[in-house]
Amino acid sequence: MWLRNFSISNTKNKFTVVGCDSYGHIKDLNSTFTTGCSLSCSSETRFEEAGSCSGVGCCQTSLPQGMRNYKITLRSFDNYSDVRDFNPCGYAFIAKEKSFLFSKQELLDLSNRTQFPVVVDWAVSNQKCREAQKDARSYACKQNSRCKESLSGIGYYCVCEDGFRGNPYHSNLDAGCKDINECEGDNRCSRRCHNVDGNYKCSCPRGYRGDGYKDGSGCKFPIVEISLGISVGLPVIFTVVSILYWGNKQRALTQLRRQYFEQNGGNYMLQQHQQQHRDTERTRIFAEHELKTATNNFDESRILGCGGQATVYKGILPGDLLVAIKKSKIGGDSRQVRDFINEVIVLSQINHNNVVKLLGCCLETKVSLLVYEFVENGTLLDYIDPLKNEDSFSWETRLRIAADTAEAISHLHSHTSVPIVHRDIKSANILLDHNHMAKVSDFGSSRLVPADENQVYTAIQGTLGYLDPEYLHIGRLNEKSDVYSFGVVLLELITGKKPVEFDGLGPKHLTTYFASPMEEGSLLEVLDKRVLNQKNVEQLKEVSLLARRCVRVNGEERPTMKEVATELKGLIAVKKHPWVKGGDMMSEECESLLGHAVASTSAGTSTGYVRARTFAAHDSTQKQVAFEIADGRRSF
């Protein structure tokens, strides 16, 4: 047989002869080497256990190095005349060592096994290392590798240098032989390990002596020298020890802060975000000691609010700047880190008066810290919940808060470089400043929706009572999910009730509770009596209709946030300009409707109608603007 490109491996293969009246030999046609073995057995021959090829029925011998052309000869001593109990055939072949396990059964019939694996030696070209290295263009061994002679004696092959691992034939450093960082695994260093190309070095911290190796002198503190010096200058020694201790402690703290910084996504995600958005204002990175000083070491008296995931503290920065500092309760959780980074990325893209402003963050602590502008009047929930605020505030203020919030959400959906879905719109996430201006907050669960996608699929996240039914059931998130949540906030504003209340029969959802009066014509019975009066009954009804559209089960039937914001601003404009023709008649109608609603409360039903009218208004330039309500009548 002749092999053109490869040689038979003399270390991985064996020449094997099977039979009971046979002798076989193999000759290397490129040399004078010949080897073989012979076999003879009878019915009285005792065979060894299966798997043994030791000369009884089967014999094996080694092959010469670098054999490529060979000839196998197989003969019989007595022409198989004495073979009675066995197959009168002999077999001779080359096979991978241990791939053929001999048994007595093989003497009966080996013809069914016509193929055996053979291992060949692989090498680069036919040159030796010294010859191959003369031609740099054809030399196969790349950087950080070395040449080794082929085991067959023909050609060469490449291996990575000690301390490197990879593909020695690849010129790309990322795929070729790369340095192994021995410091990450077991090594001989007792204290400090320094990785170098192909190796590593050990050293001792400052103040210690030794070579730094476990099997060498190690790292030892110079106790003897210090003891001798104590008698000469105890104060000096004390100072030196204190400095060393302080230095080691500071280094440990610095290393810990660096670890927290990376753990909280500092180097990778924040810097990546800032490179992608150079046109946005850079988020300030606060040091831990700055925020500790601002909150009096996070004193309990500075707590503004406390949720399931974080606590918010009031802080005072230099210059008497009031801030709100959000501190996560648990550190190291991958989801919290993801939400923390997400909130930084989202808020850094938004510049809107009705969105709480992110001033910066702190990344060198175990738990993440976010620093916001201080919004002093709490949340919208604090004002509309009857259990928290009995008097609440006027309908005009509620309507303005709703319009401000809608404008902020519309800005997220339509006016940012990448549309943003807040995913957790609720009254507890709407903050109020000293003028009761609304500011949307808590963007930890927000998601960016790329321009080429109108929706994304995510794990369900949000607050019970505010969740979009479509999103809840199929995980499909888009801008209409925020519209639904805002619709629930509108229902809270006009009814003063919670999104979900529990009684003996289970949870009672505000959207279901509100739907029945709308259909039965008894809307005025469920409106918040703290704000309902003759002057705003029509606005309340219009907002009720808008809220009803926002919380429709089918997301496609809901309006966009831009349409919602425009409609709410239109209602405010109507209120500000007393230009309604036939105002007396409208007032009389409102009085009649309101009086009818109050009188019908005990009966359990109330129905009112809004007649179709055309209102005309004049703006500051005296240009007439028309507002129309569709013809026909609306039943409440």
Known catalytic residues?
424
> Which stretches does DSSP call E strand in 232-295?
284-285
Cβ–Cβ < 8 Å for 6, 119: no
Rounded Cα gap, residues 70 and 65, in angstroms: 12
- What does residue 96 show for φ and ψ, rounded to 5 degrees? -60, 135
Please provide the distance, in angstroms rounded to a whole number, between the alpha carbons at the two ends of the chain. 99
CA angle 499, 491, 472 (to 5 degrees): 50
CA angle 195, 200, 201 (to 5 degrees): 105
Q: Which residues pair with 199 in a beta bridge?
A: 196
Rounded Cα gap, residues 446 and 350, in angstroms: 12
Rg of the chain, C-alpha, whole Å: 43
38 in helix, strand or coil? Answer: strand
Cβ–Cβ < 8 Å for 421, 479: yes
Among residues 122, 120, 95, 121, the alpha carbon closest in space to that of 106 is found at 95
What is the four-CA torsion angle of 98, 102, 103, 107, rounded to 10 degrees?
160
Rounded Cα gap, residues 446 and 200, in angstroms: 46
Residues with Cβ within 8 Å of residue 575, at least 6 apart in sequence: 396, 399, 539
Rounded Cα gap, residues 288 and 232, in angstroms: 42
Cβ–Cβ < 8 Å for 15, 35: yes
Copy the structure tokens of residue 281.
């204002």
Cβ–Cβ < 8 Å for 511, 491: yes
Residues with Cβ within 8 Å of residue 216, at least 6 apart in sequence: 188, 210
479 in helix, strand or coil? Answer: helix
486 in helix, strand or coil? Answer: helix
Q: SS3 breakdown of the chain: % helix, strand, coil, rounded to 5?
A: 30, 20, 45
Among residues 257, 225, 258, the alpha carbon closest in space to that of 241 is found at 225
